Every structure is written in C-alpha cells, then in structure tokens.
Amino acid sequence: MIETTDAFQTAPRVVLVTGPSGAGRTSALHVLEDVGFEIIDNLPISLIPRVLGAAPPDRPIALGIDVRNRDFSAGSVLDLIDGVDLPRPYRIEVLYLDCRPDVLVNRYSETRRRHPLSPDEMPEAGIARETDLLEPVKVRADLLIDTSGMSPHDLKSELKAVFDPEDAVGLSVSVQSFSYKRGVPRGLDLVFDVRFLRNPHWDETLRPLTGASAAVAAHIAEDPRYPPFFEKTFDLIEFLLPAYGEEGKSHLSIGFGCTGGRHRSVALTETMAKALADKGWRVSIRHRELERLGDRGVRRGT
C-alpha cells in the first residue's frame, strides 16, 4: 500500500515505465520527456539506487525498465517499487504499458524485429515468456494502459492527461466506454454495466448514431431507471475520488460497458465525464469501440 504521509507527498517523484516489449514503453518515455521528466532508460537495475543517491533531482524521473535491463528480475523490480536499498524516500509509481499478444505479434511482424527473449524463435515464444516474467510487476501497477487499440497520438493524449506538470494538480480521471462482446478493458479501476438501460439499437432512426448524439442520450435518459442510476453512480464516484487521491493514487480509470459499445456506454461516458469536469476534476474520455470504427463510428447526430 502506498504511504500517504507528508514526507511521501513531498518526496521526489520516480515513475517506473515498464511492460512487454512492443507495447509502447519507448513512446511513453518520449512523452514523459516532453512534459519535463528526466529520462533514464535501460540502466542496470542494481545501479539505480546509486543513481538515485546522487543530489536530489530538480524534476521528476522516469525510469525505463524491461527484460533487456541487465540483471532484470521481477524480484529486483518489486524491491525497487518498495524502496528497498534506496538512499532516501522516493514517491515510486509504476506505469505499465500492456498489449494483447496477437497485437504484439503483428507489431513484430511489421517491424521485422526479433523478440529479446526469443531471438532465434518465433515472437510468440518470447511474448509468452515475457508476460510470465512481468506478471508480478503488472499487479503492482499504479496506472495500466492497454495500448492494443491505441495510436501513438492516443497514447500521448492519455499520458499527458496524467503526467503533464502544467495540469498535474490532484487526481486525474479517465472515463471509457466499451463493448462486453470484446471484453472489459484492462486497467480499469471501476466498471459499471449499463446493459440494463433502454437500448437505442432497436430504434432504426437511432441505430446509425452513437451515444455522443443528443437524440441517443435523450432516448436512454427516458428509461425510468436512468435518473436514479446516474445519480447514485455519480455520488459514489464523487465520494471515492478524494479517497483515492488521499491514498496516493494519481489516476483513476472508470469504465461503462454495454452490448455493442456504441450507444448506452458512450452516452454514460460522455455525461459522467461532463458532470465530473463540472465539479473541477481533470477528465479524459476514451471510446474504445468508436476508435476501432474510425469515421464510421463517430456519427454524433443531433
């Protein structure tokens, strides 16, 4: 559990950036460098305490860590997360970039790179080994981002919303919509199933639109169960956000899921994000299924 003492809150910030090879770790480090972090990549883990023992940094540090680090082991990374052998208190956070194995295989095929854990085998073998190695670190992540369906621009926007020091006061919130047909996105902290609400899919005039349209949102809001559900859910989230912030969490991901990920979950995501933003929270929005559909999925209507 993260300590929340005054010493912790004022300690130098160190973000460990890790995840399977090909998931976007290098891209994430570039983004963090752009927003003011000092970047240290692929340093032998045994040397990290010595580097951090130098003069206190005047800006936050991002450490790139993956299986190519000399003397890498999950145990050594966990010790680093827990501050073992560090010369002074640090505010250690873990940013884990995840990705589905099939997408990683495609990325290796496109770049014709060899996986570091299977240079003489197919990438699938290395991806499986790396996934097993990193699992103990993954469960300790403070922020887990699944880059499977993300473009570099999407990843940059998500990271800037969390780490940009110009807008980094307090907890940041990500609200996402998704389809249960494609599974629950990895990394969500709170998940709400809205499949019980009135479904615009069965209205032929609304079916081509998305939940971002006023007509679809109004149709859903006419369900008598909608007002109490939204009110109770908003009250719960508003109650929890300060508590998560006091616990030391810098980012919270909230998901709304429905059958197709186009109507009800999108409408709830848009409405909840606006309600939270109106209360002063820093909020970003992501619609997973609409992103996959591109222009075909962003028909807002009126």
Highest mean pLDDT among 80-84, 90-94, 262-266: 262-266
Nearest to 137 by CA among 43, 67, 242: 67
pTM: 0.65
User: Letter for the amino acid at 204?
Assistant: E
Residues 67 and 176 in one domain: no
* Cα(172)–Cα(177) distance, integer angstroms: 17
* Cα(175)–Cα(276) distance, integer angstroms: 10
What are the residues facing 286 on neighbouring strands? 176
To the nearest whole number, what is the mean pLDDT of the chain? Answer: 85
Q: Which helix (H) or strand (E) is 170 found in, with range?
A: none
Phi, psi of 195 (to 5 degrees): -70, -10
Using DSSP's 3-state secondary structure scheme, residue 230 falls into: helix
* Cα(30)–Cα(113) distance, integer angstroms: 20
Is 61 inside a domain boundary? yes
Note the pLDDT of residue 170. 65
- Whether the per-residue pLDDT at 256 is higher than 60: the answer is yes
Phi, psi of 191 (to 5 degrees): -130, 130
Is 194 inside a domain boundary? yes
Is 302 inside a domain boundary? no
Burial class of 141 by CB neighbour count within 10 A (0 to 12, 13 to 18, 19+) = buried
What are the residues facing 91 on neighbouring strands? 13
Per-residue pLDDT reduced to its tens digit, 25-72: 999 999 999 888 999 998 888 888 888 877 667 788 999 998 887 788
What are the residues facing 63 on neighbouring strands? 16, 40
Residues 114 and 229 in one domain: no
Q: Which of 123, 151, 167 is the last residue of a domain?
A: 167
Q: Is the dihedral of CA 105, 111, 117, 121 positive or negative?
A: positive
Note the pLDDT of residue 211. 95
Note the pLDDT of residue 291. 79
Residues 91 and 235 in one domain: no
Q: Which of 148, 167, 186 is the last residue of a domain?
A: 167
Highest mean pLDDT among 181-195, 201-215, 281-295: 201-215
Which residues constitute the domain of residue 137? 6-167
How many domains does one find in the chain? 2
> Domain holding 158: CATH number?
3.40.50.300
* Cα(105)–Cα(116) distance, integer angstroms: 13
pLDDT band at 1 (very low <50, low <70, confident <90, very high): very low
Per-residue pLDDT reduced to its tens digit, 109-159: 777 777 877 777 888 888 888 989 999 998 888 888 889 888 888 888 888
pLDDT band at 16 (very low <50, low <70, confident <90, very high): very high
Residues 30 and 57 in one domain: yes
Using DSSP's 3-state secondary structure scheme, residue 202 falls into: helix
